[in-house]
Amino acid sequence: MTDTATITTGSWRELLGPKNLGASTVLAGGVALYATNEFLTISLMPSAVADIGGHRYYAWVTTVYLVASVVTATTVHSLLLRLGPRLAYLLGLTVFGAGSLACAAAPTMEVLLLGRAVQGAAGGLLAGLGYAVINTALPREQRVAAFNQRAPWLRAVDGPVIADVMMRMIAEFGALGIVEARPGVKGDPDFPETMFVESLAASRRHRSPGRGLGPGPGSRAVRP
């Protein structure tokens, strides 16, 4: 059976209030900068090719950005240990700015690709930092509240009539997900030592917690 811990809820007002607005802006801003940059670049590429040429390298403008971001995302943990979150963010923003300047002033497509690689490296760092620093940047109360709002993965077999539950599972077999046991937090009474994390099938994602098999991906529950 699932745990019955008392649920405490947070709010957008708390998250975006004076106490947390700075941290929320930095964390979300780094991820948004990485994500939106790609869309902006794609929309500007026809004009860039018309100005500096290099049509044969068109696809590489996206490729080098993504490859560089994946590589630097793997270094987030080590950078945090060496520099701390403040210097790591400043490094990422500085490098991203340098890459943006190189792209803006690029006289040829080769220079543009170099600037995109620098941008991607910094973007991957900023996006990774957003996920890595959130545990320490936001107050414990907000993190506990977010965890307590998870949906129980055993909700699909809850019901007064077992036959109805089984028939619903058969009818909606394509929406069944996978539940994996993952390490939790040891020595913390607010979090379990083992977490059962649900990932729903990509074919269908149910949003209502009262019907079907789940409200969406990443639902979590714990059983003792």
Domain residue limits, the chain: 21-137, 147-221
Per-residue pLDDT tens for 152-165?
655 555 556 667 77
Q: Do residues 156 and 214 lie in contact, with contact meaning Cβ atoms separated by under 8 Å?
A: yes
Is pTM beyond 0.75? Reply is no
- Residue 133 has which token pair? 């620093």
pLDDT at residue 218, rounded to an integer: 40
pLDDT at residue 153, rounded to an integer: 57
101 Cβ contact partners less than 8 Å away, ≥ 6 residues apart = 115
pLDDT at residue 118, rounded to an integer: 96
Task: Tell me how many degrees the CA angle 124-127-132 measures, rounded to the nearest 5.
Answer: 115
Q: Do residues 200 and 217 lie in contact, with contact meaning Cβ atoms separated by under 8 Å?
A: yes
Q: For residue 199, report the phi and psi dihedrals to the nearest 5 degrees.
A: -125, 115
Positions of the chain with pLDDT under 70: 1-12, 14-15, 135-139, 142-143, 146, 149-162, 174-177, 198-224
